[in-house]
Amino acid sequence: MSINQIAVPAIPQACTNKTFGPSDIKWVKNVNDVVTSSAYLRPDQRLKQLPFFYLELNSRYTNSLSKVPTGELILLYQKLDNQSVKCFTHLVTPVDNNVIQYPYPSTIQGWCGRKVKVIAMTGNNAINSIPVSKTMWSCIGFTDSMYDLSWQGSYIRQIPFHQRLSKLQNDIWDKFQPYIV
């Protein structure tokens, strides 16, 4: 195993002994709970289940939630603490293929979730998070089925193959190293 990879135990059978590396970052998702304009970094019941939680989104976008294979990484970003600064906060991987309606009592009407395992999480505050503007990802312009990082809505977007530049993947992977769970 290289220094740029980490073995993650405790992932259910589909990903047992999976060794993650930068090239596994293939998806990106903006998260926002609509109430506080941030998500998953509040000390609520979602975090009591760490290193697992349900990645939630509007049921209209269930298809995008179902597309992500177990063992591939989703890069999550969000605005934190009602700020306008977008920050990368999590690297997660789905652990099964089940989409659950209303996974939490606080789930917004019409939303569903899929269980993910946290591979890296920047912490429960904006100070430790990784501002998008401080990464190589700040100037990427996704094309085709992707949107610019400035707007994604509730979809989980696959990073098109021609834009999965190892330079970008390595950049964000290196920044998450202190936060590996």
Task: Enter the pTM of the model.
Answer: 0.79
One-letter identity of residue 17 = N
| 77 contacts 84 by C-beta, under 8 angstroms | no
Structurally, at CATH architecture level, domain 6-179 sits in Roll (3.10)
Neighbours of 40 (CB within 10 A): 23
Q: What angle do CA 136, 57, 148 make, to 5 degrees?
A: 30
| Per-residue model confidence as pLDDT tens for the chain (181 residues) | 444 554 444 455 555 568 899 999 988 888 876 555 556 655 566 666 778 888 888 788 788 888 899 989 999 888 776 667 788 889 999 999 898 888 877 767 778 889 999 999 887 667 788 988 888 777 664 433 444 444 455 667 767 666 557 888 899 999 999 998 8
Each domain of the chain, given as residue ranges in start order, spans 6-179
Beta strands in the chain (DSSP E): 6-7, 19-20, 25-30, 52-58, 73-79, 86-101, 111-121, 130-131, 156-158
Cis link prior to 51 (omega < 30° from 0)?
A: yes
Structure tokens at 28: 């990106």
